[in-house]
Structure 1
Amino acid sequence: MRVADLAIIGAGPTGLEAAAGAARAGLSAVVLEAGAVAQHVHTWRWVRLFSPFELNAGPAGLGLLRGRGVRLPAPEAILTGEELRTRYLLPLAAAVRSSIEIREGARVRDVARADRLKGEALGSVARADRPFRLLVEENGAETEVFARAVFDCSGTWGQPGWAGPGGAPARGERAARRAIEYHLPDPLGAQRDRYAGRRTLLLGAGHSAATTAVALAALARVIPGTRFTWASRRVSDVPLRPIDEDPLPERAELTRRANAVAVGAAPRLRVAPRGQAPRRQANLRAGSSTSNWRSPGPCGTTTSTASWPASAMSPTTGCTGNSRSTPATPPSVRWASRRPSVRRGATGRPTA
Structure 2
Amino acid sequence: MPLCRAFRRCPGHGRATQAPCGPGSRGGVGHVPSWAPDAPHRRVAGAHAPLPQELLIKPARVPVIVGPTGIGKSALAFELAVEIGGEIVVADSRQVYERLDIATNKPSPEQRRRIRYHMIDFVDPASTFNAAEYIDGARTAIQDIAGRGLVPIVEGGTMLYVDALCDGFSLAGVPPDDQLREVLAHLDVVELRERLLKLDPDPGVDLQNPVRMVRAIEILEVAGPPLRSLRQRTPPPWEPVRIGLTADLAVIDRRLEERSRTQVERGLVAETQAALDAGVPITAPVLTGIGYAEALAHIAGELTIDALPIAMAQSNRRYARRQLRWWRRDGRVRWFEIEPNPLAAILKYVKESA
| TM-score normalised to structure 1 length | 0.26
Q: Specify which structure has the bigger relative contact order, considering alpha-carbon pairs within 8 angstroms and separated by 6 or more residues.
A: 2
| TM-score normalised to structure 2 length | 0.26
Larger gyration radius, structure 1 or structure 2: 1
- Greater per-residue strand proportion: 1
- Greater per-residue helix proportion: 2
